[in-house]
Amino acid sequence: MCYSQGAGVNPPLGFFDMPAAVHMLCETPFLPTLADLLRDGSGPGRFCLVGGAVRDAFLGRVSADFDFAAERDPTALARAFAVRTGGHWFWLDKSRCQSRVVAAGLTFDFAPWRAPTLAGDLAARDFTINAMAVDLAGLAAAALFDPLGGRRDLEAQLLRCCGPGVLADDPLRILKGIRHAVQLGLTVEADTLVAMSAAADSLPLCAPERVRLEIWRILASAEIDRGLLLLAECGAGKVLFGDRFTAVLPGIRAALHRAGAFFAALLAKDESVAGYLHAPVEAGLNRLVLLCWCRLLGSIDPLLPLSLARRWRFGRAALSRIAALVEIPGHFRQELAMLPRRPRAIALWARQFGADPVDLLLMAGLLDESASRVAADRLMPFLDELCKLPDTARIPPLVDGRWLESELGVSGTGIAGLQATLRQLEISGRIASVEEARSYLLENHPKKG
């Protein structure tokens, strides 16, 4: 359901031949540097680029994450690579000699083989499309090591697991596989779907942080509907979201289809709305996915968006915003229709519910049962007004405490009470400026004594 700004959008799947894929890899910053470091013969034996970067090269996609598998401990090579590139090196798992280098926004992970041979290492990976290897020492020779037929599966747009036990070894791979299927337009092979179903009950054993990230990525996909169907088909949806997931899935799909049409209508009116939709909430989570989370889970149980977010350890900001959206009263849309078209009034009205103003406006649009274009027409003027505010999180009072103290002789709770009164008057449209606020106060709350 991701709109504009590229992320999550599924372009037509292309396919590069091996020389073209290797040429793309050679153009990747720092990979030739790593190949140079291997030429002195003191490296960790056979050393290969594996995983997603190889897959993406065949698809003509630029990767930002690179995984390397080495015959022996690659730590010395990783450290030397960090020095050569000016990157930052750190351990991922010292006991397993796994480390990472971050350089120029790219991530390079180094690990020894997880089996005595490279073939054994690849067989222990998740899906065949991620189990191809290119020897860095012979990168220019364009030699692909592909014992499981990953290149063939990728060209056939097929998702197939590497072996019968790989999903049971790490059940999170179920969600990763669904994400690959929706992002890359792959068909899940029948035996792989069976293996997903068999391992689904173990998903609660996975770290919540890993589970939520994969679900967010599925929700961000342009093929979210297919992702939901796969979650239901393999049983993961029922395990993660409760027994009612499958039964209410038609309603969930209809709600998210309606959400997609509404967001598309907003973007057709003003492409800058994409900035609102993709505004980050926390790492890996943007406003669009947050709203979809609330809409999807709220269709199952009104309390589920917040209760599951707590169990899955969402960040404090995300929890606060979800709580506000879950707890807003049913009449808020009627109140919105009567608001004055003034940025401060709109923001103050939203803040009285504890909600982010843009979150609340967009949720109002999602709940509007009118045609998507009509709902977008109603909402757009309010979003346009909010654009005029430099910061919707902090709305200063029209009249500050110093003026109230000097002109009206109030202090402490008296100041807070009068400022609360002014906020309600501003929301109702009775005042709109500092001058109007002061005039109201001087007339209705004359100075004491």
- Does the predicted model carry a pTM greater than 0.85? yes
Is residue 364 within 8 A of residue 265, CB to CB? The reply is no
CA dist., res. 28 & res. 139, Å (int): 12
Q: Which fold has domain 18-155?
A: Beta Polymerase; domain 2 (3.30.460)
Assigned token pair, 332: 């808020």
User: Phi and psi for 70 in degrees, rounded to 5?
Assistant: -120, 150
Please answer whether residues 28 and 72 qualify as being in contact, where contact means their C-beta atoms are separated by less than 8 angstroms: no
pLDDT the model gives residue 209 = 96
Domain boundaries, the chain: 18-155, 157-241, 242-395, 401-444
Checking DSSP bridges between strand 158-159 and strand 187-188, what pairing results, if any?
parallel
As a dihedral over the C-alpha atoms of residue 216, residue 221, residue 226, residue 229, rounded to 10 degrees, the angle is 10
Q: Do domains 18-155 and 157-241 have the same CATH topology?
A: no
Residues 22, 54: contact at Cβ < 8 Å?
A: no
pLDDT-above-70 percentage for the chain: 95
Q: Is the pLDDT of residue 321 over 50?
A: yes
**CATH architecture for the domain at 157-241:** Orthogonal Bundle (1.10)
Q: Which comes out higher in pLDDT, residue 30 or 87?
A: 87
Packing angle, helices 304-311 and 316-327, rounded to 10: 160
231-264 pLDDT per residue, tens: 999 999 999 999 999 999 999 999 999 999 999 9
Mark out the alpha helices in 220-331 (DSSP H runs): 224-234, 236-241, 245-269, 273-277, 287-300, 304-311, 316-327
Residue 6, pLDDT score: 42
Mean pLDDT of all residues in 421-449: 90
pLDDT over 60 at 328, yes or no:
yes
What pLDDT, on the 0 to 100 scale, is given for residue 8?
43
The tens digit of pLDDT for each residue in 255-308 reads 999 999 999 999 999 999 999 999 999 999 999 999 999 999 999 999 999 999
Closest by CA position to 230, among listed 188, 185, 171: 188
Spatial distance between the Cα atoms of 208 and 310, rounded to a whole number of angstroms: 10
pLDDT at 21: 77
pLDDT-derived band of residue 9, with 50, 70 and 90 as boundaries? very low
State the Cα–Cα distance between residues 401 and 390, nearest whole angstrom.
22
Predicted pLDDT at 208: 97
**Per-residue confidence band for 62, with pLDDT thresholds at 50, 70 and 90:** confident
Residue 4 pLDDT level (bands cut at 50, 70, 90): very low
